[in-house]
């Protein structure tokens, strides 16, 4: 009997660890979406572990990834940041290239072409501008090739659960990164009489660039602490 109880206790502890791991990933992805400028309720972002488990557990008491899907609309500030400034030659610029985001945690031990195609088709069918697919395993190279193939219809980003257990932007050694609007970028280049290619660069694969969803050609302001000046800013072009 003791052996059976020990086994039950071990299974319960393992389940609690899995639930806590998914809660941490949930918190990070919500903070990420909110930091990009999408609208989320604060209680959804800051949900406690106990409330999270209550909201998403299945009949076995384990958190169901199928229930962790969510969407968010861009805020007015985010729309403004992605808008093209009106000019004399282009007084009516096209609408900003931004829209509703869809986030999904995928069940399963493998992620192949079929899974990625299904995800891409869902985004397109429901008019989601951007989709984030979160997996617990690596995605096959052939499945990743679908992402650029559907880029004209929808944007797809992928993250591994393991990489979301800690929010890297909360680390004391990571300076604050702020995406400049297109208007702010133009003003910066005019002020210093620069071409954007003359700015230092940040790769799209950089962890913070991925967190913010930076796109090629965007400029990010990096604010660091200084013992002498208090704070100082530098700028980098996403490539």
Q: Is residue 85 scored above 90 in pLDDT?
A: no
CATH number given to 2-166: 3.40.1340.10
Instruction: Give 169-238's CATH code, choosing from 3.40.1390.20, 3.90.940.20, 3.20.20.150, 3.40.190.10.
Output: 3.90.940.20
| pLDDT at 6 (0 to 100) | 56
What are the residue ranges spanned by the domains of the chain? 2-166, 169-238
Q: Is residue 228 scored above 90 in pLDDT?
A: no
- Give yes or no for a contact between 210 and 174, defined as CB atoms under 8 angstroms apart: no
Retrieve residue 140's tokens.
Answer: 């096959």
Retrieve residue 230's tokens.
Answer: 């208090």
Spacing of C-alpha 25 from chain mean position: 11
* Dist CA 32 CA 125 (whole Å): 25
pLDDT for 128-169, tens place per residue?
999 999 999 999 999 999 999 999 999 999 999 999 999 999
pLDDT for 94-120, tens place per residue?
889 999 999 999 988 889 999 999 999
DSSP per-residue letters across 53-86: HHHHB-TTSSBPGGGG-EEEPBPHHHHHHTSPPP
- Burial state string for 193-229 with b = 16 or more CB within 10 A and e = fewer than 16: eeebeebeebeeebebbbbbbbeeebbbbbeeeeeee
| pLDDT at 14 (0 to 100) | 62
Model-level pTM?
0.91
Mean per-residue pLDDT, 215-236:
91
Neighbours of 99 (CB within 10 A): 16
Q: Is residue 233 scored above 70 in pLDDT?
A: yes
CB-based contacts of 99: which residues, under 8 Å, 6+ apart?
A: 74, 127, 128, 129, 130
């Amino acid at each position: 009997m003791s052996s059976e109880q020990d086994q039950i206790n071990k299974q319960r502890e393992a389940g609690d660890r899995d639930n806590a791991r998914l809660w941490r990933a949930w918190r990070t992805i919500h903070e990420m979406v909110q930091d990009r400028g999408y609208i989320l309720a604060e209680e959804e972002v800051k949900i406690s572990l106990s409330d999270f488990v209550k909201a998403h557990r299945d009949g076995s008491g384990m958190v169901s990834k199928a229930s962790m899907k969510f969407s968010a609309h861009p805020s007015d500030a985010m729309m403004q940041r992605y808008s093209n400034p009106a000019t004399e030659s282009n007084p009516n610029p096209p609408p900003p290239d931004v829209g509703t985001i869809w986030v999904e945690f995928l069940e399963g031990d493998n992620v192949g072409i079929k899974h990625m195609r299904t995800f891409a088709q869902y985004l397109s069918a429901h008019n989601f501008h951007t989709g984030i697919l979160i997996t617990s395993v690596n995605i096959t190279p052939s499945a990743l090739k679908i992402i650029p193939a559907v880029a004209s219809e929808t944007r797809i980003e992928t993250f591994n659960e393991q990489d979301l257990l800690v929010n890297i932007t909360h680390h004391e050694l990571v300076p604050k990164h702020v995406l400049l609007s297109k208007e702010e970028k133009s003003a910066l280049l005019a002020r210093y009489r620069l071409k954007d290619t003359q700015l230092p660069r940040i790769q799209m694969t950089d962890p913070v660039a991925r967190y913010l969803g930076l796109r090629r050609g965007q400029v990010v302001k990096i604010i660091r602490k200084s013992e002498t000046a208090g704070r100082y800013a530098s700028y980098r072009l996403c490539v």
